[in-house]
Structure 1
Amino acid sequence: MTHPTAAQSVPADRTATQKRAALRRHIARQVLVELLLPIGAYYGLRAAGVSPWAALIAPALLTLPFLAYDALRHRRVDAVALFTLTMIVIGTAVSVITGDPRTLLVRDAWLFGAVGLWILATLFTQRPMMRSLARTIVTVKIGEAGYREWDARWDTDSRFRHHLRVLTAVWGAGFTLDAVIRVALAYSLPLDAVPLATTLQWLAVLGTLIAFHVFYVTRNGLKV
Protein backbone atom coordinates (compact mmCIF):
# COMPACT_ATOMS: atom_id res chain seq x y z
CA MET A 1 0.00 0.00 0.00
CA THR A 2 2.86 2.38 0.74
CA HIS A 3 5.67 3.52 -1.55
CA PRO A 4 9.16 4.99 -0.90
CA THR A 5 8.02 8.62 -1.03
CA ALA A 6 5.26 8.04 1.50
CA ALA A 7 7.54 6.05 3.75
CA GLN A 8 10.09 8.86 3.81
CA SER A 9 7.60 11.65 4.61
CA VAL A 10 5.48 9.97 7.30
CA PRO A 11 5.70 6.84 9.44
CA ALA A 12 3.64 4.93 6.87
CA ASP A 13 5.61 1.77 7.65
CA ARG A 14 3.93 1.39 11.00
CA THR A 15 3.52 -2.18 12.15
CA ALA A 16 0.09 -3.75 12.45
CA THR A 17 0.39 -3.43 16.23
CA GLN A 18 1.11 0.30 15.99
CA LYS A 19 -1.83 0.79 13.63
CA ARG A 20 -4.19 -1.00 16.01
CA ALA A 21 -2.86 0.95 18.98
CA ALA A 22 -3.37 4.28 17.19
CA LEU A 23 -6.89 3.31 16.19
CA ARG A 24 -7.71 2.12 19.74
CA ARG A 25 -6.61 5.48 21.15
CA HIS A 26 -8.78 7.30 18.62
CA ILE A 27 -11.83 5.13 19.36
CA ALA A 28 -11.31 5.36 23.13
CA ARG A 29 -11.34 9.14 22.91
CA GLN A 30 -14.51 9.10 20.81
CA VAL A 31 -16.24 6.78 23.31
CA LEU A 32 -15.23 9.04 26.19
CA VAL A 33 -16.40 12.27 24.53
CA GLU A 34 -19.51 11.00 22.77
CA LEU A 35 -20.77 8.31 25.17
CA LEU A 36 -19.34 8.20 28.69
CA LEU A 37 -19.14 11.95 29.24
CA PRO A 38 -22.72 12.79 28.17
CA ILE A 39 -24.48 9.87 29.88
CA GLY A 40 -22.33 10.09 33.02
CA ALA A 41 -22.84 13.83 33.28
CA TYR A 42 -26.61 13.52 32.89
CA TYR A 43 -27.12 10.93 35.62
CA GLY A 44 -24.54 12.54 37.87
CA LEU A 45 -26.34 15.88 37.67
CA ARG A 46 -29.74 14.26 38.18
CA ALA A 47 -28.43 12.48 41.28
CA ALA A 48 -27.26 15.86 42.55
CA GLY A 49 -30.79 17.23 42.19
CA VAL A 50 -30.31 19.20 38.98
CA SER A 51 -33.41 19.62 36.83
CA PRO A 52 -33.84 17.30 33.80
CA TRP A 53 -33.61 20.29 31.46
CA ALA A 54 -30.27 21.50 32.85
CA ALA A 55 -28.91 17.94 33.10
CA LEU A 56 -29.59 17.46 29.38
CA ILE A 57 -28.07 20.80 28.40
CA ALA A 58 -24.82 20.44 30.36
CA PRO A 59 -23.45 17.28 28.64
CA ALA A 60 -24.02 18.88 25.23
CA LEU A 61 -22.08 21.96 26.31
CA LEU A 62 -19.26 19.79 27.67
CA THR A 63 -18.59 18.44 24.18
CA LEU A 64 -17.93 21.90 22.72
CA PRO A 65 -14.34 22.27 24.05
CA PHE A 66 -13.42 18.89 22.56
CA LEU A 67 -14.78 19.90 19.14
CA ALA A 68 -12.84 23.17 19.33
CA TYR A 69 -9.66 21.35 20.40
CA ASP A 70 -9.88 18.97 17.44
CA ALA A 71 -10.35 21.87 15.03
CA LEU A 72 -7.28 23.67 16.42
CA ARG A 73 -5.17 20.52 16.60
CA HIS A 74 -5.81 19.41 13.02
CA ARG A 75 -6.09 22.98 11.68
CA ARG A 76 -9.29 22.16 9.86
CA VAL A 77 -12.94 21.99 10.79
CA ASP A 78 -14.34 18.49 10.49
CA ALA A 79 -17.65 18.57 8.62
CA VAL A 80 -19.30 16.04 10.91
CA ALA A 81 -18.13 17.87 14.04
CA LEU A 82 -19.38 21.16 12.64
CA PHE A 83 -22.74 19.61 11.86
CA THR A 84 -22.95 18.16 15.38
CA LEU A 85 -22.11 21.53 16.90
CA THR A 86 -24.79 23.23 14.79
CA MET A 87 -27.44 20.74 15.88
CA ILE A 88 -26.45 21.16 19.55
CA VAL A 89 -26.87 24.92 19.26
CA ILE A 90 -30.19 24.65 17.42
CA GLY A 91 -31.55 22.02 19.80
CA THR A 92 -30.55 24.04 22.84
CA ALA A 93 -32.14 27.20 21.43
CA VAL A 94 -35.39 25.37 20.70
CA SER A 95 -35.46 23.86 24.19
CA VAL A 96 -34.95 27.31 25.74
CA ILE A 97 -37.98 28.56 23.83
CA THR A 98 -40.23 25.60 24.64
CA GLY A 99 -38.90 24.81 28.12
CA ASP A 100 -39.61 21.12 27.48
CA PRO A 101 -36.89 18.57 28.42
CA ARG A 102 -38.33 16.08 25.95
CA THR A 103 -37.56 18.54 23.18
CA LEU A 104 -33.88 18.02 24.01
CA LEU A 105 -34.33 14.27 23.91
CA VAL A 106 -35.98 14.48 20.50
CA ARG A 107 -33.17 16.84 19.46
CA ASP A 108 -30.87 13.82 19.39
CA ALA A 109 -33.34 12.06 17.10
CA TRP A 110 -33.35 15.06 14.77
CA LEU A 111 -29.56 15.08 14.87
CA PHE A 112 -29.23 11.41 13.99
CA GLY A 113 -31.99 11.65 11.38
CA ALA A 114 -30.40 14.70 9.76
CA VAL A 115 -27.00 12.99 9.79
CA GLY A 116 -28.53 9.88 8.23
CA LEU A 117 -30.19 11.87 5.44
CA TRP A 118 -27.02 13.90 4.88
CA ILE A 119 -25.00 10.68 4.62
CA LEU A 120 -27.45 9.29 2.06
CA ALA A 121 -27.34 12.57 0.11
CA THR A 122 -23.54 12.32 -0.21
CA LEU A 123 -24.03 9.17 -2.28
CA PHE A 124 -24.74 11.42 -5.24
CA THR A 125 -21.48 13.37 -4.90
CA GLN A 126 -17.81 12.65 -5.55
CA ARG A 127 -17.21 12.56 -1.80
CA PRO A 128 -19.63 10.09 -0.21
CA MET A 129 -19.50 10.26 3.57
CA MET A 130 -17.32 7.17 3.95
CA ARG A 131 -14.65 8.67 1.72
CA SER A 132 -14.54 11.83 3.85
CA LEU A 133 -14.77 10.01 7.17
CA ALA A 134 -12.00 7.61 6.18
CA ARG A 135 -9.50 10.48 6.17
CA THR A 136 -9.31 10.60 9.96
CA ILE A 137 -9.18 6.84 10.47
CA VAL A 138 -6.73 6.08 7.67
CA THR A 139 -4.47 9.00 8.63
CA VAL A 140 -4.43 7.84 12.26
CA LYS A 141 -3.26 4.41 11.12
CA ILE A 142 -0.79 5.13 8.28
CA GLY A 143 -0.20 8.87 8.16
CA GLU A 144 -1.19 11.67 5.78
CA ALA A 145 0.81 10.40 2.80
CA GLY A 146 -0.59 6.93 3.28
CA TYR A 147 -4.09 8.37 3.28
CA ARG A 148 -3.43 10.25 0.03
CA GLU A 149 -2.31 7.03 -1.62
CA TRP A 150 -5.36 5.18 -0.30
CA ASP A 151 -7.74 7.93 -1.41
CA ALA A 152 -6.16 8.14 -4.89
CA ARG A 153 -7.82 4.82 -5.68
CA TRP A 154 -11.09 6.74 -6.02
CA ASP A 155 -9.98 8.12 -9.40
CA THR A 156 -8.76 4.82 -10.84
CA ASP A 157 -10.73 1.98 -9.26
CA SER A 158 -14.48 1.67 -9.91
CA ARG A 159 -14.82 -1.17 -7.39
CA PHE A 160 -13.24 1.04 -4.73
CA ARG A 161 -15.86 3.72 -5.48
CA HIS A 162 -18.64 1.13 -5.34
CA HIS A 163 -17.50 -0.25 -1.99
CA LEU A 164 -17.29 3.20 -0.39
CA ARG A 165 -20.79 4.01 -1.62
CA VAL A 166 -22.18 0.73 -0.23
CA LEU A 167 -20.66 1.50 3.17
CA THR A 168 -22.02 5.04 3.02
CA ALA A 169 -25.53 3.78 2.20
CA VAL A 170 -25.50 1.30 5.09
CA TRP A 171 -24.34 3.91 7.62
CA GLY A 172 -26.90 6.43 6.34
CA ALA A 173 -29.72 3.91 6.66
CA GLY A 174 -28.51 2.95 10.14
CA PHE A 175 -28.51 6.55 11.41
CA THR A 176 -31.94 7.20 9.92
CA LEU A 177 -33.39 4.09 11.57
CA ASP A 178 -31.79 5.10 14.86
CA ALA A 179 -33.57 8.48 14.68
CA VAL A 180 -36.97 6.82 14.30
CA ILE A 181 -36.32 4.59 17.31
CA ARG A 182 -35.17 7.57 19.40
CA VAL A 183 -38.40 9.46 18.77
CA ALA A 184 -40.44 6.43 19.82
CA LEU A 185 -38.41 6.01 23.03
CA ALA A 186 -38.45 9.74 23.88
CA TYR A 187 -42.24 9.86 23.96
CA SER A 188 -43.03 6.41 25.35
CA LEU A 189 -40.63 6.07 28.33
CA PRO A 190 -40.33 7.98 31.63
CA LEU A 191 -38.08 11.01 31.22
CA ASP A 192 -35.15 9.76 33.28
CA ALA A 193 -35.19 6.39 31.55
CA VAL A 194 -34.78 7.85 28.08
CA PRO A 195 -31.03 8.77 28.10
CA LEU A 196 -30.00 5.28 29.21
CA ALA A 197 -32.46 3.53 26.90
CA THR A 198 -31.40 5.56 23.87
CA THR A 199 -27.73 4.98 24.72
CA LEU A 200 -28.21 1.21 24.91
CA GLN A 201 -30.26 1.29 21.73
CA TRP A 202 -27.55 3.31 19.98
CA LEU A 203 -24.88 0.85 21.13
CA ALA A 204 -26.91 -1.97 19.56
CA VAL A 205 -27.28 -0.08 16.27
CA LEU A 206 -23.64 1.04 16.32
CA GLY A 207 -22.40 -2.46 17.13
CA THR A 208 -24.32 -3.85 14.17
CA LEU A 209 -23.00 -1.14 11.85
CA ILE A 210 -19.40 -1.63 13.00
CA ALA A 211 -19.64 -5.42 12.65
CA PHE A 212 -20.88 -5.07 9.09
CA HIS A 213 -18.30 -2.38 8.35
CA VAL A 214 -15.36 -4.50 9.57
CA PHE A 215 -16.62 -7.54 7.66
CA TYR A 216 -17.16 -5.59 4.44
CA VAL A 217 -13.89 -3.65 4.62
CA THR A 218 -11.86 -6.80 5.29
CA ARG A 219 -13.62 -8.82 2.60
CA ASN A 220 -13.19 -6.17 -0.09
CA GLY A 221 -9.60 -5.09 0.50
CA LEU A 222 -10.28 -1.66 2.01
CA LYS A 223 -8.48 -2.32 5.26
CA VAL A 224 -5.18 -0.52 5.91
Structure 2
Amino acid sequence: MSGRWSEDRLRAALSVPAGPSSDFDLNTDNPPPSTSLRRAGVLAAFHESDGRLILTKRASGLRHHPGQIALPGGKVDPLDADEQAAALREAQEEIGLDPAQVQVIGALAPHRTVTGFVVTPIIGIVRGPFAPVPEPGEVEEAFTLPFGHIADPASYRIEKRRWLGDWRHYYVAPCGPYYLWGATARILLELARRLPA
Protein backbone atom coordinates (compact mmCIF):
# COMPACT_ATOMS: atom_id res chain seq x y z
CA MET A 1 0.00 0.00 0.00
CA SER A 2 2.98 2.33 0.43
CA GLY A 3 3.02 3.19 -3.27
CA ARG A 4 -0.68 4.00 -3.66
CA TRP A 5 -1.18 7.58 -4.86
CA SER A 6 -3.90 9.79 -3.44
CA GLU A 7 -4.01 13.44 -2.52
CA ASP A 8 -5.68 12.49 0.76
CA ARG A 9 -2.65 10.40 1.77
CA LEU A 10 -0.34 13.28 0.96
CA ARG A 11 -2.43 15.73 2.97
CA ALA A 12 -2.58 13.28 5.87
CA ALA A 13 1.22 13.01 5.87
CA LEU A 14 1.52 16.77 6.25
CA SER A 15 -0.71 16.69 9.34
CA VAL A 16 1.78 14.48 11.21
CA PRO A 17 4.06 16.60 13.44
CA ALA A 18 7.78 16.22 12.80
CA GLY A 19 10.89 18.08 13.83
CA PRO A 20 13.55 19.48 11.50
CA SER A 21 16.04 17.26 9.71
CA SER A 22 19.58 17.89 8.54
CA ASP A 23 22.52 16.52 6.60
CA PHE A 24 24.07 15.87 10.02
CA ASP A 25 21.40 13.39 11.16
CA LEU A 26 23.58 10.41 10.24
CA ASN A 27 26.86 12.11 11.17
CA THR A 28 26.53 12.94 14.86
CA ASP A 29 30.31 12.77 15.32
CA ASN A 30 30.60 15.76 12.99
CA PRO A 31 28.31 18.46 14.44
CA PRO A 32 27.25 21.33 12.19
CA PRO A 33 29.45 24.42 12.36
CA SER A 34 28.06 27.58 13.93
CA THR A 35 27.35 29.59 10.81
CA SER A 36 24.53 31.83 9.71
CA LEU A 37 22.16 29.82 7.55
CA ARG A 38 20.78 31.00 4.22
CA ARG A 39 17.04 30.43 3.77
CA ALA A 40 15.84 28.44 0.78
CA GLY A 41 12.67 26.79 -0.50
CA VAL A 42 12.23 23.74 -2.71
CA LEU A 43 9.07 22.47 -4.38
CA ALA A 44 7.99 18.84 -4.18
CA ALA A 45 5.38 18.97 -6.96
CA PHE A 46 3.28 15.83 -7.44
CA HIS A 47 1.06 15.55 -10.52
CA GLU A 48 -2.63 15.18 -9.73
CA SER A 49 -3.14 12.28 -12.15
CA ASP A 50 -0.74 9.72 -10.71
CA GLY A 51 1.48 11.42 -8.12
CA ARG A 52 4.62 11.44 -10.24
CA LEU A 53 7.18 13.81 -8.72
CA ILE A 54 9.02 16.42 -10.79
CA LEU A 55 12.77 16.48 -10.23
CA THR A 56 15.74 18.09 -11.92
CA LYS A 57 19.33 17.22 -12.65
CA ARG A 58 21.27 20.36 -11.87
CA ALA A 59 23.64 21.81 -14.47
CA SER A 60 27.27 20.77 -14.04
CA GLY A 61 28.48 24.40 -13.95
CA LEU A 62 26.49 25.46 -10.88
CA ARG A 63 28.31 26.52 -7.71
CA HIS A 64 26.11 24.47 -5.34
CA HIS A 65 25.41 20.76 -5.92
CA PRO A 66 26.38 20.59 -9.63
CA GLY A 67 25.02 17.56 -11.46
CA GLN A 68 22.91 16.39 -8.54
CA ILE A 69 19.28 15.30 -8.58
CA ALA A 70 17.21 17.97 -6.84
CA LEU A 71 13.78 19.36 -6.23
CA PRO A 72 13.22 22.66 -8.07
CA GLY A 73 14.01 25.59 -5.80
CA GLY A 74 16.65 27.86 -4.40
CA LYS A 75 17.55 30.56 -1.93
CA VAL A 76 15.07 33.16 -0.74
CA ASP A 77 15.72 36.41 -2.61
CA PRO A 78 14.95 39.85 -1.14
CA LEU A 79 11.81 40.16 -3.27
CA ASP A 80 10.44 36.77 -2.18
CA ALA A 81 7.79 36.95 0.54
CA ASP A 82 8.94 33.65 2.05
CA GLU A 83 10.27 30.16 1.25
CA GLN A 84 7.09 29.20 -0.58
CA ALA A 85 7.40 32.20 -2.88
CA ALA A 86 11.04 31.31 -3.54
CA ALA A 87 10.20 27.68 -4.34
CA LEU A 88 7.43 28.63 -6.78
CA ARG A 89 9.55 31.33 -8.45
CA GLU A 90 12.50 29.00 -8.87
CA ALA A 91 10.30 26.19 -10.24
CA GLN A 92 9.00 28.58 -12.88
CA GLU A 93 12.52 29.74 -13.74
CA GLU A 94 14.07 26.26 -13.75
CA ILE A 95 11.42 24.15 -15.47
CA GLY A 96 8.69 26.55 -16.67
CA LEU A 97 6.10 25.52 -14.07
CA ASP A 98 3.49 28.29 -13.77
CA PRO A 99 2.76 28.96 -10.07
CA ALA A 100 -0.93 29.23 -10.98
CA GLN A 101 -0.81 25.54 -11.91
CA VAL A 102 0.42 24.52 -8.45
CA GLN A 103 -1.89 24.03 -5.49
CA VAL A 104 0.28 24.28 -2.39
CA ILE A 105 -1.04 21.97 0.34
CA GLY A 106 1.60 22.41 3.01
CA ALA A 107 5.26 22.17 3.94
CA LEU A 108 7.66 19.86 5.70
CA ALA A 109 9.89 20.97 8.56
CA PRO A 110 13.06 22.79 7.47
CA HIS A 111 16.14 20.78 6.51
CA ARG A 112 19.66 22.03 7.25
CA THR A 113 22.29 21.27 4.63
CA VAL A 114 26.02 20.81 5.02
CA THR A 115 26.49 23.75 2.63
CA GLY A 116 24.88 26.24 5.03
CA PHE A 117 21.27 26.40 3.85
CA VAL A 118 18.08 25.85 5.81
CA VAL A 119 15.66 24.49 3.23
CA THR A 120 11.87 24.45 3.59
CA PRO A 121 10.24 21.79 1.40
CA ILE A 122 6.94 23.05 -0.03
CA ILE A 123 4.47 20.33 -1.06
CA GLY A 124 2.20 21.01 -4.03
CA ILE A 125 -0.13 19.37 -6.52
CA VAL A 126 0.31 20.14 -10.23
CA ARG A 127 -3.08 20.65 -11.86
CA GLY A 128 -3.54 19.91 -15.54
CA PRO A 129 -1.07 18.95 -18.28
CA PHE A 130 2.54 19.97 -17.73
CA ALA A 131 5.71 19.31 -19.71
CA PRO A 132 8.89 20.63 -18.04
CA VAL A 133 11.06 23.02 -20.03
CA PRO A 134 14.56 23.01 -18.45
CA GLU A 135 16.45 26.30 -18.17
CA PRO A 136 19.82 25.35 -19.71
CA GLY A 137 21.94 27.47 -17.38
CA GLU A 138 20.52 25.80 -14.27
CA VAL A 139 18.99 22.49 -15.27
CA GLU A 140 20.57 19.76 -17.36
CA GLU A 141 17.41 17.60 -17.32
CA ALA A 142 13.89 17.65 -15.87
CA PHE A 143 12.13 14.34 -15.30
CA THR A 144 9.64 12.57 -13.06
CA LEU A 145 9.82 9.61 -10.70
CA PRO A 146 6.81 7.48 -9.78
CA PHE A 147 5.00 8.12 -6.52
CA GLY A 148 5.41 4.46 -5.60
CA HIS A 149 9.20 4.87 -5.46
CA ILE A 150 9.16 8.17 -3.56
CA ALA A 151 6.50 7.00 -1.08
CA ASP A 152 8.07 3.67 -0.08
CA PRO A 153 10.55 3.92 2.82
CA ALA A 154 12.10 0.68 1.52
CA SER A 155 13.35 2.64 -1.52
CA TYR A 156 15.85 4.44 0.72
CA ARG A 157 19.14 3.16 2.11
CA ILE A 158 22.25 4.60 3.72
CA GLU A 159 25.58 4.91 1.92
CA LYS A 160 28.82 6.70 2.78
CA ARG A 161 31.71 8.48 1.10
CA ARG A 162 34.74 10.58 1.95
CA TRP A 163 34.06 14.32 2.13
CA LEU A 164 36.68 16.86 3.26
CA GLY A 165 38.72 14.07 4.82
CA ASP A 166 35.92 12.46 6.84
CA TRP A 167 33.44 9.69 6.18
CA ARG A 168 29.92 11.04 5.72
CA HIS A 169 26.78 8.93 5.72
CA TYR A 170 23.73 9.94 3.67
CA TYR A 171 20.46 8.55 2.33
CA VAL A 172 20.05 7.41 -1.27
CA ALA A 173 17.04 6.24 -3.28
CA PRO A 174 18.30 5.32 -6.76
CA CYS A 175 15.70 4.77 -9.48
CA GLY A 176 16.78 3.67 -12.96
CA PRO A 177 19.46 6.06 -14.24
CA TYR A 178 18.76 8.58 -11.48
CA TYR A 179 20.86 8.60 -8.29
CA LEU A 180 18.66 10.38 -5.78
CA TRP A 181 20.71 11.15 -2.67
CA GLY A 182 21.72 13.62 0.04
CA ALA A 183 19.35 16.34 1.20
CA THR A 184 16.77 15.57 -1.49
CA ALA A 185 16.59 11.90 -0.48
CA ARG A 186 16.45 12.81 3.21
CA ILE A 187 13.59 15.27 2.65
CA LEU A 188 11.58 12.76 0.60
CA LEU A 189 12.22 9.97 3.11
CA GLU A 190 10.74 12.20 5.82
CA LEU A 191 7.61 12.50 3.71
CA ALA A 192 7.51 8.77 2.95
CA ARG A 193 7.72 7.90 6.64
CA ARG A 194 4.71 10.09 7.43
CA LEU A 195 2.41 8.74 4.72
CA PRO A 196 -0.47 6.69 6.15
CA ALA A 197 -0.99 3.12 4.96
**Category of TM-score, reference length = shorter chain:** under 0.3
Higher helix share: 1
What TM-score does the superposition give when structure 1 sets the normalisation length? 0.24
What TM-score does the superposition give when structure 2 sets the normalisation length? 0.27
Higher strand share: 2
